[in-house]
Structure 1
Amino acid sequence: MKKAELNEILKLKKEVKQLSQKLQELNYGDDETVVSDKVRGSMSEYPYSARSFNLVGLEQMSDKCIQKRNEIGKKISDKYYELNCRINKAYDYILGIDDSEIRQILQYKYIDGLSSEEIGEYLGWTSRTIERRLEKWYKSCR
């Protein structure tokens, strides 16, 4: 696996999270949608002061709207699955590395998103030692 592919893991994880939220927002699979409106009125008793009221409810979606929403949901779901496969491939690659130190460094760096300084604190090394070990490992992989 190339360094660029490893660098992409954190970005993919963020995108997967966004896609998951988008699927929840779409209520993928439901046939109702939340609608809201704001109206102005007055209190029913004296001093009859004007105020705004928020109304929220459920509305039955049309077949065309449901179909379009489901098409979008399917595309998002497919992309979510594809990105998860790429992330899992990277996890498998990292977990398949025999050298425990390198495996830990790669997990902290590319899966957890830690800096060299933070990794060094966990492992008891300097950030420069972390960077040198990674450089040496990258060169040995070529």
Structure 2
Amino acid sequence: MHRERKKSCIGREGNHALQEKEVMHCKRRKPCIAREEVMHCKKSHTSREKDSCIARERVMDYKKKTHASQRKIHASRERKSCIAEENFMHRGKEVMHAEEKFMYRRKGIYALQEKIHASREKEIMHWKRRKSCIARERSHAL
């Protein structure tokens, strides 16, 4: 019995030693695992930073392209607006020219009408004088 006890004690001590080894191994391993996890987190954080940096660059490129296209559109609209303004001014000049022509013709018509009126007045005055002369001659003849 004593041997059996001894064996069981030795067995227990061996088990205890094994357990202590495992505990020590786990204790040594835990910081390694923790370090690995930290490194993994750092790596994933770094990769996330790279990803976000790349995404930021893509967004900036997109914004630059959008801004450039907006500037082109704005310049095109300005050019079209300037052309439309020039066309409008040209049409305005054409209208002014047409009005001037109309006024010139109208002045010519007025001048002609005045000449006609003046000649009619001359004729009327001439006939009035002639009538008065005829009337005088008749009155003298009687």
Global fold match (TM > 0.5): no
Output the TM-score relative to the length of structure 2: 0.27
Structure with more relative contact order (C-alpha pairs < 8 Å, separation 6 or more): 1
Output the TM-score relative to the length of structure 1: 0.27
| Higher helix proportion | 2
| Higher strand proportion | 1
Structure number with larger C-alpha Rg? 2
